[in-house]
Chain A
Amino acid sequence: MIDTSLFQLICFYAFAAVTVVAALSVITLRNSVHAVLALVLTFFSTACIWMLAEAEFLAIALIVVYVGAVMVLFLFVVMMLDIDQEKLREGFVKFLPVGLVVAAVMLVEMLGLIGVRFMHAQTMGDNPATAAGMSNTAWLGMALYTQYLLPFEVAALILTVGVIAAVALTLRHRVGARKQHPSEQVAVKASDRVRIIKMAAERPTDSQPSPAQESKP
C-alpha cells in the first residue's frame, strides 16, 4: 500500500528541492533570459508546495499574477536588454565579501525569527476552511470580505494610489507630439475630405504630345 502522508512528504521534498535549485540558478546562470525562466520555475514549484498545504487560492493566484503577468513583463524587458555578460561577471570577486556579509546577516535574522516563533510555538488549529466545510477559496473570500473588510479595502486603496503614482511619474505631455483621435476619425464625412464642384467640360487647347509619350520605346 502507498501511504498517502508518506507520498505527500516525498512530493513536498521533491518540490522543495526543485524550488531551491531553481532559486540558486536564478543568481548563478550567465544568461539573463535563462535566469528569468529559472525564477518562473521557482514560482511554479512554490505554488505546488502551497497546493500541497491546501492553500489552493494562494497557489493559483501566485501563478496567475506572478508567472502569468509580472514575469512576462520581466522577460519582455530582459529580452530587450543587450547585456555584456563578461562585464557583469567582472565584479563577482570584488563584491563577494559584501554579498557574504548581507547573506550572513539575513541568515542570522531568519534563524532568530524562527527561534522566537519556535519558543512561542502553538500547535496549529485545524484548517478553518475544512472546519467550516467550505472550499479554501470560498472561505478566504468570506474571511476577507467580512472579518477583514477594512484592512482589505485599505490595501486596495494603497495599491490604487501606487498605480496612479506610477502613471503620473511616467506620463509627460510633450510638445509637438502627434496624436490620433479615433472619435474624430470615425466622425469624418466624405464632404470634409473631398469637395465636388460643378463646372462645364473643357477641351484641352494644347494639342502637343507630352514628352513622356515621346520617349516611349
Chain B
Amino acid sequence: MADQLINQLLLPLLYTLCVVLPLVIAVALYVWWERKVIGWMHVRMGPNKVGPFGLLQAFADVVKLLLKEVILPTSANKSLYYLAPLIALVPALAAWAVIPFSDKAVLSNANAGLLYLLAMTSLGVYGIILAGWSSNSRYALLGAMRSAAQVISYELAMGLCLVCVLVLSGSLNLTDIVHAQAGSKGLLDWFWLPLLPVFIVYFISGVAETNRAPFDVAEGESEIVAGFHVEYSGSAFALFFLAEYANMILVSFLASILFCGGWLSPFPASVPVLGDANPVWLAIKVFVFATLFLWFRATFPRYRYDQIMRLGWKVFIPIGIVWVLVAGCMKYYGWVHVGTGG
C-alpha cells in the first residue's frame, strides 16, 4: 500500500514539481531577458540595479506584486473575478504534461499528446473572457471580446498546421514526432523544410494565440488601457502574467519540437560530439524562438483588429488547407525522408 502510494502519487507529484518550478523560474528570467533585449533595441540599459546585471529585478517585482492588495471592483462578479486568473493559469501549466525534454524525460508519454495540447491551449481563453466580463469594466469587456475572436480564429490555423505535422510524422505522440525528424542530414531532415509555409504560419499563430505584440489588441495599452486585466492588481495580476509567459515558452517549445527536431542536432550524425542528440539543442532552439517573440514586440506596430481577422481567415487558413494536401502528397509519394519512430 505504502509502496503503491509512493509510486503512483508521490513520484508523479515530484516529477511535476521538477517541471513547474523551473518553468516559474524560467518565466522570471524570461521577463528579465525581455526587458534587457527591448532595452538594447531601444538603446537603453534595461534593468541593471537589482542584483548582477539586474538579474534579480524580476524576483523583486514578484515580491512587490505578491505584497500588493487585490482590489475587487464595484459590483464585479466576485466568484468569477477570483476564479478567472486560475482558469487562465491551469491550462498553461497542464499543457506541460506531454512536452518531452529528451528521449526519456517526459511527464506523460501520451499517444494523443498533440490533441491534448490543442485541447489545453484552447481552454486558456476562458480565463481571459471571464476576467473581462466579471470585472464589470468597459475596457476589460472590450479586451475580452477582441481576445475571444482572435484566439478562436488563430486556433483553426494552428490546428491545420498541426495536421500537416502529424500527416508527415504519422503520429500524435510528441516523442515519435521528434524521432520522425531524425536522419543523416541533420538540419535538413527536420520538418521545417518540407513544411516551411506552415512552420511560419504556426509560429505567427502562436504569437497571436498568446496575445503578444503585434497581435496584442486584447491588451492594447494605447487603446483600452490594459484590456482584460485592467482591474486586476497584486497576486491576481501576477497569475495572468505567469500564464502569458508560460504560454509563450510553451509555443517556443512546440515550434522547436514539431518543426525543428526537438533535441536532435542540426549537424549530420557523422560529425563527432556535435552530431549527437542532446537536450541542450532543444534549449538553444527554444531560446531562439523565445527571443523572436521579444524581437517582434520591439519591431512591429500593433495590427488593427480587422487586419488580424483578415490575416487569420483569408491568408493563414487557406495556406494551411493547401499545405495539408501538399503534405499528404509528400507522404504518399515518399518525397520526404521520415525517420523511424522509436
Distance of A57 Cα from B166 Cα, bound (Å): 15
Query: How many chain B residues touch A (Cβ–Cβ < 8 Å)?
Result: 30
Question: A64 to B119, Cβ gap below 8 A?
Answer: yes
A31's closest neighbor in chain B, by CB? Answer: B77
Q: Let me know if A150 is at the binding interface, CB within 8 A.
A: no
Distance of A50 Cα from B122 Cα, bound (Å): 19
CB distance from B72 to the nearest CB of A (A): 17
| A84-104 Cβ-contact flags toward B at 8 Å (1 or 0) | 000000000000000000000
Contacts of A40 in B (CB 8 A): 126
Question: A135 to B310, Cβ gap below 8 A?
Answer: no
Distance of A68 Cα from B95 Cα, bound (Å): 14
Which residues of chain A from 52 to 94 have any CB-CB distance to chain B below 8 Å in the complex? 56-57, 60-61, 63-64, 67-69, 72-73, 75-76, 79
Contacts of B129 in A (CB 8 A): 72, 75-76, 79
Which residues of chain A from 129 to 188 have any CB-CB distance to chain B below 8 Å in the complex? 135-138, 180, 182
Distance of A4 Cα from B200 Cα, bound (Å): 45
Question: B122 to A63, Cβ gap below 8 A?
Answer: yes
Distance of A60 Cα from B148 Cα, bound (Å): 21
Distance of A60 Cα from B114 Cα, bound (Å): 10
Question: A1 to B4, Cβ gap below 8 A?
Answer: yes
Distance of A132 Cα from B165 Cα, bound (Å): 24
| B117-149 Cβ-contact flags toward A at 8 Å (1 or 0) | 011001101100110010000000100110011
Main secondary structure of the interface of A (DSSP, over half): helix
Q: Let me know if B80 is at the binding interface, CB within 8 A.
A: yes
Question: B310 to A64, Cβ gap below 8 A?
Answer: no
Contacts of B149 in A (CB 8 A): 76
Distance of A1 Cα from B119 Cα, bound (Å): 34
Contact of B111 among A56, A73, A182 (CB under 8 A): A56
Question: B112 to A56, Cβ gap below 8 A?
Answer: yes
Contacts of B144 in A (CB 8 A): 79
Question: A57 to B115, Cβ gap below 8 A?
Answer: yes
Question: B122 to A69, Cβ gap below 8 A?
Answer: yes
**Please, could you name 24 A-B residue pairs with CB atoms under 8 Å apart, sorted by A?**
A1-B1, A2-B4, A31-B77, A34-B80, A57-B112, A60-B112, A60-B116, A60-B118, A61-B115, A64-B115, A64-B119, A67-B119, A68-B155, A69-B122, A69-B152, A72-B129, A76-B145, A79-B133, A79-B145, A136-B112, A137-B115, A137-B172, A182-B307, A182-B310
- Residues on A close to B: CB < 8 A? 1-2, 31, 33-34, 37, 40, 56-57, 60-61, 63-64, 67-69, 72-73, 75-76, 79, 135-138, 180, 182
